[in-house]
């Protein structure tokens, strides 16, 4: 069992302390005369520092919300208990599936829309974040998968998406590493790609600071409550500080539900463990991001959205007890220079885990390597065999905790319909928060800024018209049926 992510220079970081700043580093400079100098009376006496908005959680979602609000001129405080990007965002594979924008965006196309928008937003961060629009292949390995995936491809084309059907020699020419493997055909999405997610999250948090936001790391939010006069929300922290703001955005990933409960909200988000196995490899071993379609097909057949938290959250590979694998899953990509070009292979999504369980099940590692050698026997087999032989010096694996919602959709928007105005949720992105979270966060920030009276261009908000953006926000509304409730 290995618990680390390899980083440039051969160093290895422990989960939870990886990447960027350590918690004890100083917080952002305060702007002279800013609203955060102001104070608010709070329940139980005492006073709190005031801002326009407090964002709880410095993953990729919270960082984009804070950045976009700060860029519009709002006084924003971002509270991160560890360092920005130290949890799911930094531990993810950073694959970005995108097929561009559908001609017409309805609620059913929300994920496609968010992926197209997030991809553009991450691309704008530049090469420093190792954004790579290399394209992706979603593979079919059985005749049944071929039929199912081909229909999916045709449906995508009818919607105007950038999808291509490839098979036979064309497939091998696109990705020579598949030669001799089990893939029969694939959907090629040239607009897909990848990013180094820890670098991207850090870059966005830094942009939030540069725009005047206050990014406070090493400060855990303990509760969210009303101020004494009910006009503001107050967030109490582990450092004994209190922050008051008209608006609070909860973006604490897999740890969001207990915090929401302090504000009287039942938030259907649970931690699901995602595991990544790595292998050293020379650059250009893999050209494309690879997904195998059988898990998506099976998730769809099982019926996303029909499960609830008493059963298994949608899109998990294992049953709720975390021990029985229901679906086998594999994706792969080759990293950039900051990760020494290593190959990463992901698979299992295991529910029923504690929110501090980062252990890597040996069974998961075995399943991932077995699956990888089926898909890439020629190119990968020797690497994997070498990796396994070399054991701890070469092989790597780590786990992260993904914020899964009950119905598999993100939870983004205000809780005003529940009688909790100015309390916003930005969580529940499950296995796709890097490719969907930035755009959703950007849309939320645009709405929130408008409520605060700040207009202006946001980053990433520019895709589609108002009606399309409203359709997307309806699909991920926290007050949709079966989602958030008062408790």
Ligand X SMILES: Cc1cc2nc3c(=O)[nH]c(=O)nc-3n(C[C@H](O)[C@H](O)[C@H](O)COP(=O)(O)OP(=O)(O)OC[C@H]3O[C@@H](n4cnc5c(N)ncnc54)[C@H](O)[C@@H]3O)c2cc1C
Sites of contact with ligand X (CB under 6 A): 56-62, 79-82, 86-89, 91-95, 220-221, 251-255, 259, 274, 276, 346, 400, 402-403, 427, 429-435, 437
For residue 256, the minimal CB distance to ligand X (Å) is 7
Q: Which is nearer to ligand X, 62 or 322 (CB)?
A: 62
DSSP state of 36: G
For residue 467, the minimal CB distance to ligand X (Å) is 26
For residue 465, the minimal CB distance to ligand X (Å) is 25
Helix residue ranges, H only, 74-229: 88-91, 110-123, 143-158, 168-174, 197-210
Q: Which is nearer to ligand X, 146 or 249 (CB)?
A: 249
Cα dihedral 179, 183, 184, 185 in deg (nearest 10): -100
- Tell me the three state secondary structure of residue 166: strand
Q: Which is nearer to ligand X, 125 or 146 (CB)?
A: 125
Supply 68's token pair. Answer: 């976009």
Q: Quickly count: other Cβ atoms within 10 Å of residue 229's Cβ.
A: 10
Supply 170's token pair. Answer: 């064309």
Q: Which of 121, 50, 63 is nearest to 90 (CA)?
A: 63
Q: Which is nearer to ligand X, 36 or 432 (CB)?
A: 432
For residue 131, the minimal CB distance to ligand X (Å) is 13
Q: Which is nearer to ligand X, 71 or 115 (CB)?
A: 115
Q: Which is nearer to ligand X, 56 or 66 (CB)?
A: 56
Q: Which is nearer to ligand X, 17 or 378 (CB)?
A: 17
For residue 109, the minimal CB distance to ligand X (Å) is 17
Q: How far apart are alpha carbons 471 and 108 in whole angstroms?
A: 9
Core vs surface per residue 425-434: b (16+ CB within 10 A) or e: bbbbbbbbbb
Whether residue 344 contacts residue 269, with contact meaning beta carbons closer than 8 Å, is answered with no
Q: How far apart are alpha carbons 195 and 129 in whole angstroms?
A: 6
Q: Which is nearer to ligand X, 146 or 251 (CB)?
A: 251
Please state at what angle helix 433-452 crosses helix 466-475, rounded to 10 degrees: 110
Q: Which of 231, 229, 267, 276 is nearest to 398 (CA)?
A: 276
For residue 16, the minimal CB distance to ligand X (Å) is 8
For residue 100, the minimal CB distance to ligand X (Å) is 17
Dihedral (CA of 182, 187, 189, 190) sign: positive
Calculate the alpha carbon distances from 77 to 21, 29, 169, 398 in Å: 17, 11, 54, 31
Dihedral (CA of 346, 348, 354, 360) sign: negative
Calculate the alpha carbon distances from 107 to 104, 259, 297, 403, 474 in Å: 10, 28, 21, 21, 7
Place of tokens 């440039």: 8
For residue 360, the minimal CB distance to ligand X (Å) is 10
For residue 214, the minimal CB distance to ligand X (Å) is 14
Q: Which is nearer to ligand X, 109 or 146 (CB)?
A: 109
Contacts of 212 (CB under 8 A, 6+ apart): 31, 34, 70, 73, 75
For residue 279, the minimal CB distance to ligand X (Å) is 15
90 bridge partner residues: none
Q: Which is nearer to ligand X, 62 or 100 (CB)?
A: 62
């Amino acid at each position: 069992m290995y618990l680390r992510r390899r980083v440039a220079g051969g160093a290895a970081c422990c989960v939870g302390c990886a990447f960027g700043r350590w918690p004890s580093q100083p917080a952002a400079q305060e702007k002279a005369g800013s609203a955060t100098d102001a104070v608010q009376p709070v329940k139980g006496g005492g006073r709190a520092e005031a801002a326009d908005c407090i964002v709880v959680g410095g993953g990729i979602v919270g960082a984009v919300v804070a950045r976009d609000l700060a860029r519009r001129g709002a006084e924003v405080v971002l509270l991160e208990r560890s360092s920005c990007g130290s949890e799911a965002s930094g531990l993810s594979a950073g694959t970005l599936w995108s097929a561009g924008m559908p001609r017409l965006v309805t609620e059913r196309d929300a994920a496609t829309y968010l992926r197209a928008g997030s991809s553009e937003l991450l691309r704008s961060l530049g090469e420093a974040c190792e954004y790579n629009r290399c394209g992706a292949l979603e593979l079919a390995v059985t005749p049944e998968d071929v039929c199912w995936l081909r229909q999916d491809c045709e449906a995508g084309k009818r919607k105007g998406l950038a999808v291509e059907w490839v098979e036979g020699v064309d497939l091998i020419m696109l990705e020579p590493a598949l030669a001799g493997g089990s893939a029969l055909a694939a959907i090629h999405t040239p607009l897909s790609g990848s990013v180094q997610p820890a670098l991207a999250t850090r870059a966005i948090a830094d942009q939030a600071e540069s725009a005047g936001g206050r990014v406070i790391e090493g400060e855990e939010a303990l509760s969210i409550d009303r101020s004494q006069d009910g006009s503001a929300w107050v967030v109490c922290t582990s450092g004994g500080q209190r922050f008051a703001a008209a608006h609070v955005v909860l973006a604490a990933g897999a740890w969001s539900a207990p915090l929401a409960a302090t504000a009287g909200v039942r938030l259907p988000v649970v931690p699901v463990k995602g595991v990544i196995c790595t292998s050293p490899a020379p650059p250009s071993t893999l050209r494309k991001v690879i997904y195998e379609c059988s898990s998506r097909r099976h998730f769809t057949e099982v019926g996303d959205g029909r499960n609830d938290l008493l059963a298994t959250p949608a899109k998990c590979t294992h049953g709720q007890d975390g021990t029985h694998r229901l679906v086998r899953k594999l994706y792969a990509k080759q990293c950039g220079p900051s990760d020494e070009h290593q190959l990463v292979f992901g698979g299992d999504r295991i529910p029923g885990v504690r929110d501090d369980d980062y252990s890597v099940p040996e069974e998961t590692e075995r399943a991932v390597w077995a699956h990888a050698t089926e898909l890439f026997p020629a190119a990968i087999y020797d690497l994997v065999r070498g990796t396994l032989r070399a054991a701890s010096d070469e092989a790597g694996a780590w786990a992260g905790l993904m914020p899964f919602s009950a119905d598999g959709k993100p939870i983004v928007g205000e809780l005003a319909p529940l009688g909790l105005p100015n309390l916003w949720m930005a969580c529940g992105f499950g296995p796709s928060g890097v490719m969907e979270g930035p755009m959703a966060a950007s849309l939320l920030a645009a709405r929130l800024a408008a409520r605060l009276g700040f207009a202006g261009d946001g980053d990433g908000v520019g895709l589609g018209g108002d009606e399309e953006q409203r359709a997307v926000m309806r699909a991920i509304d926290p007050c949709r049926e079966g989602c958030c409730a008062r408790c």
